Amino acid sequence: MTKAENPSSRPIDHLARRGAPDAAALLTGDTVTTFAELDAGVGRLASWLLEQAGGPGERVASWSAKTRLACLMPLAAARAGLIHVPINPLLKGPQVAHILADSGARLLVTNGARADMLGEALPVECALQDLKVGEEVIDSAGQGLPPSIAEPDDLAAILYTSGSTGRPKGVMLSHANLWLGAESVATYLRIAPDDRVLGVLPFSFDYGQNQLLSTWHAGAAVAPLDYLTARDVAKAVARHGITTLAGVPPLWVQLVETEWPVETASLLKRLTNSGGALTPSLIDAMRRTFPDADIYPMYGLTEAFRSTFLDPGLVAAHPTSMGRAIPHAEILVCRPDGSVTADGEPGELVHCGPLVAQGYWRDGERTAQRFRPAPGASRYGGTAVWSGDTVRRDGEGLLYFVGRHDAMIKTAGNRVSPTEVEDVAVASGLIYEAVAFGVPDARLGAAIVLIVRGKDGLADEEGLAGYLRRNLPNFMHPHVIEWRLELPRNPNGKLDRVAIAADWAQEVPA
């Protein structure tokens, strides 16, 4: 079989020149940065970073809120031939110290308060620079570096996973990974130069960073936002005339529970979701709140950025589907031997093509576990990401999530997907969120525990229990159902399943 050729890409810092020179590229507070100003600022910041880091190929980290410098760092580091390591601002000193040491960062750009939090844990080989100095460099009269001539496979960034299931892993992303990811999203979302994108997700999160990159690829403007409440998001939408909003399920729950002026809600034309599945009841609530917006459910993993999206026109008929492969991605559903499954047969999601990352930084063992030769049926060949997620494909080619292979609950001789239990619970319409997991049980092997968060803080225990009895086979019935007002989340905003299970275990009497 002839293998598909990889599409062409450009150095990621060239995104600073995608839009018209006098068009808005960045909206920070009351300040509008044009593409011409963005390009000049990236060049000056790149020159300064290179001087501070000591030479090309070094790692430079940023740890801050969504400042102007934080927005320019992915392009400026790349222009200087450096490797950017964005750090989630919600992390604490010990976690940040681990990332700095693991990446071998030669420079950390942050503010004084965060530097104090890090204290003596700062690795000795890592220099420290204040954000204010970097901001002054951006505004200086210096010439700066010209656009880079990086090769597609040159390393541009290392993004660290949240580490909720083990020590954080640094995913290595090339210029081609980032450029083609930006192009793919800008294409299937149909972002136009007159669009305005609100950047609410952390830039350390691949989904969050792509808010910047895909917007600039389309020649449009992005407004970064650090928010405390859902009301802050609504105000920012009105202030900047936002047309596009990316979120994760916990954020959508907050947004549909707040009051939106009709004229503000009508500004939004597209809503994108990743980091967890949207439930049918939440989709219905989003439609009621934002009647003029298209909804784009998406699935991705940091090791390959994004894998699938569901066309808005299919959401009503297939609300639980992950959709199909995004541009530049090839998605196969495979058996353990690498052969492709039949329609309706569960298998592992395998992502092939040029969006596949280069592996885990300085971690050959875990790289070999996840990054393996592509199945023989692949059009691209080469290395693929074996996701560890079980999915199935229907006769129309639409994909559906079944569960994590390592999260399956073995109860009474049956293998149960936590996701299937959660989906049925949410379909009751009585709750917004649910987490199912197994706990040791002498009789069953594992008993199913279901933790839920009800709508508007309400707990209809009898209603939910009755719905589950009617809609789940006996072996899938939860042994325990507990209601919560809030559920813990990891730094990327996803439900922290490990913490939820651990909290429940601590509450159970010995």
Kindly state the greatest CA–CA separation across the chain. Answer: 73
How high does pLDDT run on average in the chain? 92
Output the pLDDT for position 94: 81
Q: What is the mean pLDDT of residues 247-257?
A: 88
Percent of residues, the chain, with pLDDT higher than 90: 73
What pLDDT, on a 0 to 100 scale, did the predictor assign at position 502?
A: 87
Confidence at residue 165, expressed as pLDDT on a 0 to 100 scale: 40
pLDDT of residue 163: 43
Residue 268, token pair as written in the block: 């939004």
Which tens digits make up the pLDDT trace of 316-356?
A: 999 999 999 999 999 999 999 999 999 999 999 999 999 99
Identify the residue with better confidence: 433 or 157. Answer: 157
Is the pLDDT higher at 251 or at 72?
72
Tokens representing residue 392 in the block: 């199935």
Give the mean model confidence (pLDDT) for residues 259-270. Answer: 97
Looking at residue 85, what is its pLDDT?
98
Phi-psi region of 429 (alpha: psi -120 to 50; beta: other; left: phi over 0): left
The DSSP H or E segment spanning 280 is: helix 280-289
Assess if CATH 3.30.300.30 describes domain 408-507.
Answer: yes
Regarding predicted confidence, which is higher, 417 or 256?
Answer: 256
Q: What percent of the chain has pLDDT over 70?
A: 96
| Residue 101: predicted pLDDT | 96
| Dist. CA 35–CA 509, nearest whole Å | 60
Contact (Cβ atoms closer than 8 angstroms) between residue 176 and residue 152: yes
Q: Are 82 and 60 in contact (CB under 8 A)?
A: yes
Look at residue 61 and tell me whether its pLDDT is greater than 90.
Answer: yes
Q: What is the mean pLDDT of residues 27-41?
A: 96
pLDDT higher than 90, residue 90: no
List the single range of 178-192, 216-230, 295-309, 399-413 with lowest mean pLDDT. 399-413
Counting Cα atoms < 13 Å in the Cβ hemisphere of 2 gives: 3
Q: What is the pLDDT of residue 162?
A: 58
Place of tokens 């009474």: 412
Banded model confidence at residue 164, pLDDT cuts 50, 70, 90: very low
Q: How far apart are CA 310 and CA 318, in angstroms?
A: 9
User: Cα–Cα–Cα angle for 347, 353, 356, nearest 5°?
Assistant: 85
- How far is the CA of 128 from the CAs of 1, 46, 123, 134, in angstroms? 52, 16, 10, 11
Residue with the larger pLDDT of the pair 491 and 104: 104
What pLDDT score does 219 carry?
A: 98
Query: Is the separation of the CB atoms in 407 and 467 below 8 Å?
Result: no
Task: For residue 508, name the pLDDT band (cuts at 50, 70, 90).
Answer: low
Which residue type sits at 366?
Answer: R
Predicted pLDDT at 265: 98
Contacts of 500 (CB under 8 A, 6+ apart): 435, 437, 451, 487, 488
The residue that leads in pLDDT, 424 or 382, is: 382
What is the pLDDT, as a whole number, of residue 450? 96
**159 near 204, Cβ under 8 Å?**
yes
Is 70 exceeded by the pLDDT of residue 492? no
Helix 206-217 with 175-188: angle, nearest 10 deg? 70
Does residue 2 register a pLDDT over 60? no
Q: Model confidence over 392-450: pLDDT tens digits?
A: 999 999 999 887 766 778 776 666 778 878 988 998 989 988 999 988 876 677 889 99
Asked which of 141-155, 290-304, 367-381, 413-427 is least confident by mean pLDDT, the reply is 413-427
Helical (H) or strand (E) element with 452: strand 445-454
